Amino acid sequence: MKAQLGFCGGNSGDPIFTEDFGAGTNNGPALPAGTTTYNFTAFTPNDGDYTISSTTNYFDWLSLQDHTPGDTNGKAFIVNASFTAGEFYQRQVTGLCENTTYEFSSWLINLQPANSCEGNSIPVNVRFQIWDETDTNMLAQGDTGSIPGTGTTVWEQYALVFKTEPGQTSVILKMRNNSNGGCGNDLAIDDILFRSCGDNVTISTAANEASLVVCEDQGGVSRTLTATPDSSVFSTHAYQWQQSTDQQNWTDIPGENSAILDTPLVTTTTYFRTKIAEDVVNVNNDLCNVVSDVFDITVLPIPAAPTSNGDIMVCEGELGILTVATQNNYTINWYDAPTGGNLILSNSQNLEIGVAGTYYAEANSTEIVCVSTTRTAVTLTVNPLPIAPDDMSTFICEDSFTTLDAEVENVAYQWNTGETTQQIDVTTPGDYNVVITNANGCSTIRNFNVEQIDLPRIDNIISDGASIRITTINDGNFEYSLDGISFQPNPTFDAVEGGFYTIYVRDNTDCGVVTQDFYHLVIQKFFTPNGDTFNDFFEPDGLEVFSNITISIYDRYGKLIKFGNTNATSWDGTFNGEDMPEDDYWYLIKADTAQFKGHFSLKR
């Protein structure tokens, strides 16, 4: 006798008894008489009650669906344990085979939420027992052990393996509550199942294949299959091979009763298995046999060619994304030719590329090489960009404007100023650009850097001996003139006779001329009264333009040495008939309303 729960360790047969308690929105019906000592209720089950229901939404229990897959309003056996532990279910199962191993299984769940009964919820604990048909000999039993209320809505399956005795064709299933009732010990049971249990039987080929996947274009395949039982249950083996196209409906293959099967030629997906029993008498009795693992020969249909999502146009320098769609999640490979050619990209529905041309997509199975018979063409057209002149730098004169020209015709223009014409006038320096877009929607950008040329601003004009020196406040490529006709880049004019002048300053970009009147008085820096007739007198040049002139000359101590007027504006270097010594002397010249002062040197 097996004394613990456990599943069949080998292969199982098809179900020979099932109990899923039906479906519907009304509770019930009650179990047959003698099945349970609990009270049936169509309403809320109290302690010692049970119901057959599609809902568990009683008290504070978990609300969940029954276990049976695919049920609509499927029902389960709902039990609120009695205050006294003991048996709460028994059912006779008939039509079994004698001297045969079986697996009983059932799904069970604790309906109590976590931390129920202030954390003292009584756990579920069920004992399963299998008795012979006389109810005197227990064949197997096993306990679930304590199943606490965790709040999970996941059903758990429990199983028990037993073997019928010689001459025995039915058994009695009993379920016992090992815990007393009270707060907790509330459970649901569903999908009670009996099926035969036998050896673990594997199916393989000489190449040790456990399954086979081929492409439809191979024209049909066959294999020699060998069934290998592990003899964990059966001491002898009888076989009956079967095949199916859906794994639901199985057909015996006549005459195939050995451990080896040479399959027929397979052109569509077909499944193979063998029924096994210890005795040839039982091999076709589904109450007694078990079935092996299934050997799949899957024949994949040739994929249809992908569907193009359309040709693509991009602009030069951009990448185009060519895409196709396919059924059944086939992989896509891209080539550069409708047949043969070079593989460009594998396993992608999208091809990102920047080279113009037609590319070809081929569908392939994800399991094996099984490709579409044709490829789908998708074309990438790369349109040229507008050809624009190089970026340029230019200038504007102060308080003026300049015209910027995209220099491309028959296109659309979008300046960063918001204007949309080929040419724009700008009055301020800065960076400008125009987006030039052709009829294909392709764009290029031309940039302009505009600098401002400021007018010269004269800072100072001085006479330095016979030279005129000009300085400006601002820097630039300036040119200078004393007559407005002849200009020079040097701001100094040498050997200029004294007199009134108009000073002209301009930028060499011809942005305009500024002028300033200037009186140039030529004062010698030194004179040499030595009688050689060269530079013998201190005599300023340019005073002739004035009407009234006085000139005073002082030594370093401020003593007046010479005073002259309009008719006597020179000095010979003497005082009271005596030669004055070499030294620096100071002058003060008053000419009409103007006044000039400075110093010079006397050298012997």
Question: Is 200 a residue whose pLDDT tops 60?
Answer: yes
- Residue 162: in which H helix or E strand, if any? strand 156-163
Listed in sequence order, the residues at least 6 apart from 85 whose beta carbon sits closer than 8 Å to its beta carbon are 176, 177, 178, 179, 180
**How many CA atoms lie within 13 Å of 33's alpha carbon, on the beta-carbon side?**
0
Give the residue-averaged pLDDT of 472-495: 94
Give the residue-averaged pLDDT of 417-439: 97
Three-class SS of residue 281?
helix
Using one digit for the tens of pLDDT, what is the confidence trace for 136-176?
999 999 999 999 999 899 999 999 999 999 889 999 999 99
Across the beta sheet with 357-364, the strand order is 312-315, 376-383, 357-364, 331-335, 343-345
CATH code for the structural domain at 12-197 = 2.60.120.260
Using 50, 70 and 90 to split pLDDT, how confident is the model at 342?
very high
Give the residue-averaged pLDDT of 252-261: 96
- Per the CB < 8 A criterion, the answer to whether 177 and 125 are in contact is yes
pLDDT of residue 277: 92
CA torsion sign, 282 to 284 to 287 to 293? positive
- The domain defined by 201-300 folds into Immunoglobulin-like (2.60.40)
Task: Determine the distance from the C-alpha atom of residue 182 to the mean position of all C-alpha atoms in its chain, rounded to a whole number.
Answer: 56
Using 50, 70 and 90 to split pLDDT, how confident is the model at 339?
very high
Query: What percent of the chain has a predicted confidence (pLDDT) above 70?
Result: 99
pLDDT of residue 3: 44
Give the whole-angstrom CA distance, residue 21 versus residue 23: 7
CATH code for the structural domain at 526-602 = 2.60.40
Listed in sequence order, the residues at least 6 apart from 397 whose beta carbon sits closer than 8 Å to its beta carbon are 452, 453, 455, 509, 511, 512
Question: Is 1 a residue whose pLDDT tops 50?
Answer: no
pLDDT of residue 533: 87
Give the residue-averaged pLDDT of 351-363: 97
Question: Is 77 a residue whose pLDDT tops 80?
Answer: yes
pLDDT of residue 281: 86
Using one digit for the tens of pLDDT, what is the confidence trace for 17-49?
999 999 999 999 999 999 999 999 999 999 999
Q: Give the right CATH number for 392-453 from 3.40.50.80, 3.30.70.20, 3.30.70.270, 2.60.40.10.
A: 2.60.40.10
pLDDT of residue 327: 83
- Per the CB < 8 A criterion, the answer to whether 247 and 292 are in contact is no
Give the whole-angstrom CA distance, residue 456 versus residue 572: 43
Question: Is 2 a residue whose pLDDT tops 80?
Answer: no
Delimit the domains of the chain by residue range: 12-197, 201-300, 307-383, 392-453, 458-520, 526-602
pLDDT of residue 118: 87
Dihedral (C-alpha) 161, 166, 170, 175: value to the nearest 10 degrees? -40
pLDDT of residue 544: 87
pLDDT of residue 162: 94
Give the residue-averaged pLDDT of 71-96: 94
Q: What is the pTM of this model?
A: 0.55
Q: Give the right CATH number for 458-520 from 2.60.40, 1.10.3470, 4.10.280, 3.40.190.
A: 2.60.40
Give the residue-averaged pLDDT of 560-572: 89
Strand partners, 452: 396
Give the whole-angstrom CA distance, residue 254 versus residue 588: 145
Beta strand pairing call for 492-493 and 478-481: unpaired
Average pLDDT for the chain = 93
Give the residue-averaged pLDDT of 331-353: 96
Check if 12-197 and 201-300 are the same fold.
no
Q: Give the right CATH number for 307-383 from 3.30.1330.30, 1.20.1250.20, 2.60.40.10, 3.40.50.970.
A: 2.60.40.10
Give the whole-angstrom CA distance, residue 253 versus residue 243: 7
Burial of 34 (0-12, 13-18, 19+ CB in 10 A): exposed
Using one digit for the tens of pLDDT, what is the confidence trace for 41-62?
999 999 999 999 999 999 999 9
Using one digit for the tens of pLDDT, what is the confidence trace for 358-390?
999 999 999 899 999 999 999 999 999 999 999
Give the residue-averaged pLDDT of 580-584: 94
pLDDT of residue 265: 94
